[in-house]
Amino acid sequence: MDSGSASIEIRGEQLLLLPERAMYWPAAGMLPIADMHCGKAATFRARHVPIPDGNMEADLAILSAVLERTGANSLAILGDWIHAAVGCTKDVMQAIDKWRAQHAQLRIHWIHGNHDVAPAELRSQFSFEEDATALDRGPFCLQHKPGVHQTLYTLAGHVHPKFAFGGHGIPRTHLPCFLFTSDCGILPSFGSFTGGMTIKSKPKERIFLVAGGNVLEWKC
Amino acid sequence: MTQATLKHWFTKRGWKPFAFQKEVWRHYAAGRQGLIHAATGTGKTYAAWMAALQEPPGDKLRVLWITPLRALAADTLESLRAPVADLQLEWRVEARTGDTPTSIRQKQRRNMPHALITTPESLSLLLSYDDAHAMFKGLRMVVVDEWHEQLGSKRGVQTELALARLRSWAPSMCTWGLSATIGNLDQALQVLLGANGANGVIVEGKQPKRIQIDSLLPTHMDHFPWAGHLGANLLPQVVAELRQAKCSLVFTNTRSQAEAWYQMLLEACPDWAGQMALHHGSLSRETRDWVEDNLRLGKMRCVVCTSSLDLGVDFAAVDRVLQIGSPKGVARLLQRAGRSGHQPGSLSRATCVPAHAFELVEVCAARESISKGFLESRTPLQKPIDVLTQHMVTMACGGGFEEASLLQEVRTTHTYQQLTDDEWNWALAFVSRGGAALSAYPNFNKMTLDKDGKWVPSDATIIRRHRMNIGTITADSSVRVQYLKGAILGHIEEHFLASLKQGQAFVFAGKLLEVILIRDMTAWVKQTSGSKGAVPRWMGSRMPISSLLSVAVRSKLNEALLGQYRGVEMRAVRPILETQRQLSRIPAIDELLIEKLVLRDGYHVFLYPFEGLLVHEGLAPLLAYRLSRLLPLSMTTTATDYGIELVSHDPIPIEQAVRSGLFSPDNLGQDIEASVNAAELARRQFREIARISGLTFQSYPGKSKTARQLQASAGLLYDVLVQFDPGNLLVTQARTEVMETHLESSRLRSTLQRLSVSQIVYVNLQRGSPLSFPILVDSIRGSAVSSENLLERVRKLQQRMEKAAS
């Protein structure tokens, strides 16, 4: 369906892994993303570290493009939509509002992450459906931190997984990745101003690298 | 105190003031300043200190003594206090470094001693207090110890800026630098004194003791390894030499080499347990202090060390120095030799232990350069913006600054004399309202103008955080190595630990260790038994052979070409050079030798510019890139201090490429950008810049939540800046530093200019020549150049790994 994306089947459901570091679940029309970290640059500036603006707007534009391309009717935020309360400046909130107005029909599930500590009055203006801990849909349990569910397959974020490869004459490179274990799938961070944690490949786990405009399974 | 009292003190100790010391005292009395150069341990300290002691101390801080090493501060304190105590002078002398307890530091700020010994970092920290002016306004003399070590580094720039500030508060203050002899003393003086240097003088210290440079010659040249891993086959001879000496320093070029040699010596000399030690920069402070104390007390037989013992006070007991592997530079070898032979009547002796045959040529060349007085220069840095922004914040914290007067002051330093208005304005914007792209930094406000028109920090947290992060030394992202029982052994790079397999032992601090658990940047280890462990590799330990030494090596080879073998090393290496002549050619000084060899794994081309590792590392991908423009080829390149190897599965049209301008200096900048991954290198270089300019923090006091919210790697910040504020001068600085420091692009350019007019000699080899072997052996570490995209790279690597597995 999508050029550059990869596909994986989990508990009988097909999931598309998109090069924009998002996931699409066609059967449910749902687009899960993780770790956007809105207002991170603003947080740095508020703490007197000069980081320019522009990331969040660029990321929101990418998100709009993915929503349009997939035709998703709901967005599932697997936590850390907001970076920090101090970064929820007027500019940041306005940018999010503007983006929200462009997708007024979209259902947005906001599962809280450890960074989502924005004041309540700010949050209510998003008109997101908020879930404090987890959202169960079909065979999946969507939550922020990776974990094992008794019956459902967990989809989570929080880790910002990256995979490192190189050597043998190829320069060492770190790439964001999707990671699937037998009972939990972890999405790469969607926000572009986010770091990552280097993970190692283990037997029986599947790793999909986001390499430029492509998602590619790592087989070794 | 009169000169007579002074002379009396010298006489009482059985000394006599040297002519150069009296010369310094005269200059000082006449209000002049300058640079004193001589080898270590020849009385430079007293030349400067006794000049100051001839006047009464007064009631304020009068002498400031800046030392590059914390460890040196304690010894300097002892030296400075000795005459004060003996002559019952009123002078109060104290030290103030990162090791000084807080209570004493607070006392010092209220009541400064007459003379204070400190480091560049601790000095900057003092300048960040708003009462700094009162502390320093009575200064008469600033002594900058080991100035040659600071020259050419960002720390030196930090010192320059601090000196400019001190001069504006104490206009009658004079500056004296103490330095080892280097190639550009005039420039070193200019940098030290800045615009204030009209009355600067250079005083040459007492000539050091006789210096002897020699080599351990392998007994059988036939069995000599072409590129022995560590020169380990010379171990028995090394042990024999060490046993003849009372106390030796064994210098290596890398920390890994030090660990490996320590292990070998420990095995070879079990009777020396307790009298043999290891000393390098990654070991814990306590361990290093212990080693240094025991060296001082004469309790050590042998210490294996790195450049960590290049500097510092002299250990009287050391009577022998061994240098493992290439000396790399003339001044460096001289400095190391000077660490031995402080007994009266003895000579300073360094014996080189070559790791491969051609290092014997280097030793011979170095000795000749020393006898001719040719030494390397230290090139000063050009206006690093990161250090300037840090200094601005320091000045804002220290009572605030007026824009015009600080700009004027900064321009009195040598480094920033050419600072443009645009650069200044950018730096000021960066520390006040964000980068120059005004709209891109909303709500940013680090410094504000107060009612007197001074720039001051906009809140107190900025001051606190800035003080925690003052300095220009970047600690690598290192993991602490600690015993389960609690003792800390030192630090090791995270990268190395990540590469260890579970249960695999590694060698560190001279011990065989096993990792139990890694948590919170600490590797908990226990000692383990067994024979072999992995030796950690530290990054940044690659040091190229100096330009001066490589020219000297080329001229030694030219002599060999003419059949002249002067020097015992040259005679020893003669059979190998004659083999080179037989199989290929000994390159003349104005020639470039290019050897071609076909092996099972492909077509090899070797080029020998003899310009040092860094230049070759820049040159190799550049040549590969230019070749691949001529003919699409996938190529692997390897670089060493001597030459470059290109390998391809297809024939390499080297002659054709040379004819069509392979060595042309034209378009150099563009071709470098296109050939090496300059973007990735700049991204890595940004780590240090981000730290110095306050974008990332070494440590953050108090709230850990705040620290978490501000977590971002320098690489990530670099990406954000490149994308959303491309005009950021710190980004520009990262690119410039990569070109100048990492790739030595100006040296690369002059190399190309030389090569493009050189006589090129092509030789088709039937088998590997002596010159090519060290490169062949090194080529395992080679890196590939190709224009394929990321996806293809991933696929190719996968295929290769799959093939290897099946």
CATH code for the domain of A142: 3.60.21
Residues of A in contact with B784 (CB under 8 A): 169-170
Q: What is the per-residue pLDDT for B702?
A: 45
- Does the structure show a pLDDT above 60 at B224? no
- For residues B716-738, give the mean pLDDT: 90
For residue A137, tell me if it sits in a domain: yes
Does the beta-carbon distance from A91 to B442 stay under 8 Å?
yes
Cα of B263 to nearest chain A Cα, Å:
28
Q: What is the per-residue pLDDT for A76?
A: 96
Does the beta-carbon distance from A50 to B437 stay under 8 Å?
no
Q: What is the per-residue pLDDT for B177?
A: 97
- Touching B: A residues 64-123, CB under 8 Å: 83-84, 86-87, 89, 91
- Does the structure show a pLDDT above 60 at B486? yes
- Within a 10 A sphere around the Cβ of B352, how many other Cβ atoms? 29
Q: What is the mean pLDDT of chain A?
A: 89
Residue B342 vs residues B78, B247, B305, B306, B536: alpha-carbon distances, Å: 19, 12, 19, 20, 34
For residue A1, tell me if it sits in a domain: no
For residue A92, tell me if it sits in a domain: yes
Write the DSSP assignment of A142-155 as a string of letters. Answer: EESS----SSSEEE
| B524-552 pLDDT per residue, tens | 888 887 656 666 666 545 678 888 999 99
Q: What are the start-end ranges of the H helices in chain A? A: 40-46, 55-70, 90-102, 120-124
Considering only the beta carbons, identify the residue of B437, B440, B784 that sits closest to A170.
B784
- Does the structure show a pLDDT above 90 at B423? yes
Q: What is the per-residue pLDDT for B537?
A: 60
> What are the structure tokens assigned to A94, written together?
């306005």
Cα of A14 to nearest chain B Cα, Å:
24
- For residues B87-114, give the mean pLDDT: 92
pLDDT band at B780 (very low <50, low <70, confident <90, very high): very low
Contacts of A78 (CB under 8 A, 6+ apart): A32, A33, A34, A35, A111, A113, A142, A143, A144, A155, A156, A157, A158, A187
- For residues A44-65, give the mean pLDDT: 93
CA closest to A215 among chain B residues? B791
Q: Which amino acid is at B122?
A: S
> What are the structure tokens assigned to B60, written together?
């304020």
- Residue B148, beta-bridge partner list: none
For residue A69, tell me if it sits in a domain: yes
Residues of B in contact with A173 (CB under 8 A): 790, 793
pLDDT band at B33 (very low <50, low <70, confident <90, very high): very high
Residue from A37, A47, A200 whose CB has the most chain B CBs within 10 Å, to mutate: A47
In the block, residue with structure tokens 């603003």: A42
| B123-181 pLDDT per residue, tens | 999 999 999 999 999 999 999 999 998 998 999 999 999 999 999 999 999 999 999 88
Among A42-51, A114-123, B344-353, B502-511, name the one with the lowest average pLDDT: A114-123
> What are the structure tokens assigned to A1, written together?
């369906």
Residue from A35, A48, A59, A217 whose CB has the most chain B CBs within 10 Å, to mutate: A48
Cα of A110 to nearest chain B Cα, Å:
20
B730 phi, psi to nearest 5 deg:
-70, -35
For residue A171, tell me if it sits in a domain: yes
> What is the spatial distance between Cα B179 and Cα B171, in angstroms, rounded to a whole number?
24
Report the phi/psi class of residue B710: left, alpha or beta, with left for phi > 0 and alpha for psi in -120 to 50. alpha
Considering only the beta carbons, identify the residue of A47, A58, A170 that sits closest to B793.
A170
Cα of A195 to nearest chain B Cα, Å:
6
- Does the structure show a pLDDT above 70 at B687? yes
> What is the spatial distance between Cα B707 and Cα B258, in angstroms, rounded to a whole number?
37
> What is the spatial distance between Cα B258 and Cα B510, in angstroms, rounded to a whole number?
9
Kindly state the helix (H) or strand (E) to which residue B685 belongs, with its residue range: helix B678-692
Residues of A in contact with B716 (CB under 8 A): 193-195
Among A134-138, B92-96, B495-499, name the one with the lowest average pLDDT: B495-499
Q: Dihedral angle at the C-alpha atoms of A144, A145, A150, A151, nearest 10 degrees? A: 40
- For residues B773-779, give the mean pLDDT: 69
pLDDT band at B704 (very low <50, low <70, confident <90, very high): low
- For residues B652-675, give the mean pLDDT: 90
Evaluate whether A78 touches A144 at the Cβ level (below 8 Å): yes
Cα of A55 to nearest chain B Cα, Å:
7
- Does the structure show a pLDDT above 90 at A20? yes
Does the beta-carbon distance from A195 to B782 stay under 8 Å?
no
- Does the structure show a pLDDT above 70 at B474? no
Considering only the beta carbons, identify the residue of B694, B709, B724 that sits closest to A43.
B709
- Residue B204, beta-bridge partner list: B37
- For residues B82-96, give the mean pLDDT: 92
| Three-class secondary structure of residue B452 per DSSP | coil
- Does the structure show a pLDDT above 50 at B784? no
Contacts of B591 (CB under 8 A, 6+ apart): B758, B759, B760, B761
Does the beta-carbon distance from B794 to A54 stay under 8 Å?
no
Q: What is the per-residue pLDDT for B701?
A: 46
Among B112-126, B675-689, B702-716, name the one with the lowest average pLDDT: B702-716
> What is the spatial distance between Cα B116 and Cα B138, in angstroms, rounded to a whole number?
13
pLDDT band at A41 (very low <50, low <70, confident <90, very high): very high
Does the beta-carbon distance from B443 to A54 stay under 8 Å?
no
> What is the spatial distance between Cα B148 and Cα B138, in angstroms, rounded to a whole number?
27
pLDDT band at B57 (very low <50, low <70, confident <90, very high): confident
Residues of B in contact with A54 (CB under 8 A): 440, 723-724
Q: What is the mean pLDDT of chain B?
A: 85
- Does the structure show a pLDDT above 80 at B661? yes
CA closest to B782 among chain A residues? A169
> What is the spatial distance between Cα B646 and Cα B630, in angstroms, rounded to a whole number?
15
A17 phi, psi to nearest 5 deg:
-105, 115
Q: Higher confidence at residue A116 or residue B194?
A: B194
- For residues B585-597, give the mean pLDDT: 95
Name the percent of chain A lying above pLDDT 70: 92
- Does the structure show a pLDDT above 90 at B477? no
Does the beta-carbon distance from B442 to A89 stay under 8 Å?
yes
In chain A, how many domains are there? 1
Evaluate whether B482 touches B278 at the Cβ level (below 8 Å): no
For residue A68, tell me if it sits in a domain: yes
- Does the structure show a pLDDT above 50 at B802? no
- For residues B473-491, give the mean pLDDT: 74
- Structural domains of chain B ordered from first start: 3-204 (3.40.50.300), 211-372 (3.40.50.300), 385-472+680-738 (no CATH), 478-527 (no CATH), 584-676+743-791 (no CATH)
Write the DSSP assignment of A94-105 as a string of letters. Answer: HHHHHHHHHTTT
| Three-class secondary structure of residue B606 per DSSP | strand
- Does the structure show a pLDDT above 80 at B696? yes
Write the DSSP assignment of B350-363 as a string of letters. Answer: EEEE-SSTHHHHHH
pLDDT band at A169 (very low <50, low <70, confident <90, very high): very low
Residue of B105, B91, B188 lying closest to B141 (CA atoms):
B91
Report the phi/psi class of residue A168: left, alpha or beta, with left for phi > 0 and alpha for psi in -120 to 50. left
Kindly state the helix (H) or strand (E) to which residue B249 belongs, with its residue range: strand B248-251
Q: What is the per-residue pLDDT for A173?
A: 72
CA closest to B429 among chain A residues? A50
> What is the spatial distance between Cα B191 and Cα B460, in angstroms, rounded to a whole number?
34
Evaluate whether B594 touches B657 at the Cβ level (below 8 Å): no
Residue of B146, B66, B521, B75 lying closest to B307 (CA atoms):
B146
Write the DSSP assignment of B36-92 as a string of letters. Answer: EE--TTSSHHHHHHHHHHTS--TTS--EEEE-S-HHHHHHHHHHHHHHHHHTT----
> What is the spatial distance between Cα A38 and Cα A82, in angstroms, rounded to a whole number?
5
Among B318-322, B754-758, B771-775, name the one with the lowest average pLDDT: B771-775
| A58-110 pLDDT per residue, tens | 999 999 999 999 999 999 999 999 999 889 999 999 999 999 999 999 999 99
For residue A112, tell me if it sits in a domain: yes
Q: How many A-B residue pairs are in contact by the CB < 8 A criterion?
A: 121
Range of the domain at A54: 6-218
- For residues A6-11, give the mean pLDDT: 96
> What is the spatial distance between Cα B714 and Cα B695, in angstroms, rounded to a whole number?
8
Residue B333 vs residues A77, B351, B358: alpha-carbon distances, Å: 62, 10, 17
Q: What is the per-residue pLDDT for B519?
A: 65
Residue from A49, A80, A116, A216 whose CB has the most chain B CBs within 10 Å, to mutate: A49
Cα of B720 to nearest chain A Cα, Å:
7
- Does the structure show a pLDDT above 90 at B682? no
Question: B273-296 burial string, b = 16+ CB within 10 Å, else e?
Answer: eeebbbbbebbbeebbeebbebbe
B385 phi, psi to nearest 5 deg:
-70, -35
For residue A39, tell me if it sits in a domain: yes
pLDDT band at B218 (very low <50, low <70, confident <90, very high): confident
Does the beta-carbon distance from B801 to A47 stay under 8 Å?
no
CA closest to B805 among chain A residues? A220
